[in-house]
């Protein structure tokens, strides 16, 4: 009886945890969109500066600055390169979150190089219940699987215990 109660309690907790993943995905998308817009604003500024000073591209302007003898100009150019790399990654992420499926979003989110964005998202995360079919379906399936995984040792123990009782009953007394 205690195992059944524990099983039900474990399923409830696993379901609540699993239902948070779709919510976290939605929060992550909102955070990503904000970061994308801020970075796009910077990159657009780089483009305007490159055009204003007759560079054929932002990359050409940055390459020129990297060859400059002034250390602060080189450092600024290196920071701009990092911003361009970030923007490229964010563009890919925005595409995934607009067109990709749920699992592609999870893979993007949980890639180790993006843990900083995930941590920032979690810092502002509020618990909730997803209102989409995909979110609820994921929560139910993942909650059930998580419950089965947690309860596996108890299930194995119960099966072995029943098998030993059956073997004891079937053996004739000598």
Could you read off the pLDDT of 88-124 as tens digits, one per residue?
999 999 999 999 999 999 999 999 999 999 999 999 8
pLDDT at 143: 83
Q: Which of 122, 111, 117 is nearest to 33 (CA)?
A: 117
- Go through 107-132 and write b for each residue having 16 or more CB atoms within 10 A of its CB, e for each that does not: ebbeeeebeebbeebeeeeeeeebee
Segment (H or E) for 12: helix 2-52
Q: Which of 63, 35, 59 is nearest to 47 (CA)?
A: 59
Q: Which of 112, 138, 113 is nearest to 24 (CA)?
A: 138
pLDDT at 174: 55
145-166 per-position pLDDT tens digit: 888 888 888 778 877 877 777 7
Question: Using CA atoms, how far apart are residues 174 and 172, in angstroms rounded to an integer?
Answer: 6
Q: Which of 19, 37, 25, 21 is nearest to 109 (CA)?
A: 25
Is the confidence at residue 173, as pLDDT, over 70? Answer: no
DSSP letter assigned to residue 9: H
**Which is more confidently placed, 126 or 1?**
126
Both tokens of 56, joined, read 């054929």
pLDDT at 14: 82
pTM above 0.85, yes or no: no
Rounded to a whole number of angstroms, the CA Rg of the chain reads 27
- Name the pLDDT band for 38 (thresholds 50, 70, 90): very high
């Amino acid at each position: 009886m205690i195992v059944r109660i524990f099983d039900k309690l474990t399923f409830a907790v696993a379901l609540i945890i699993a239902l948070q993943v779709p919510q976290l995905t939605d929060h992550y998308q909102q955070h990503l969109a904000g970061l994308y817009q801020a970075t796009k604003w910077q990159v657009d500024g780089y483009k305007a500066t490159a055009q204003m000073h007759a560079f054929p591209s932002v990359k050409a302007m940055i390459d020129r600055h990297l060859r400059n003898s002034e250390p602060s100009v080189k450092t600024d150019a290196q920071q701009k390169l990092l911003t361009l790399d970030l923007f490229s990654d964010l563009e890919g992420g925005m595409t995934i979150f607009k067109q990709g499926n749920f699992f592609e979003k999870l893979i993007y989110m949980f890639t180790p190089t993006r843990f900083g964005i995930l941590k920032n998202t979690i810092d502002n995360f509020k618990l909730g219940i997803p209102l989409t079919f995909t979110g609820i379906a994921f929560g139910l399936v993942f909650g059930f699987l998580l419950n089965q995984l947690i309860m596996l040792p108890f299930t194995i123990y119960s099966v072995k215990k029943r098998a030993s009782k059956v073997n004891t009953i079937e053996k004739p007394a000598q």
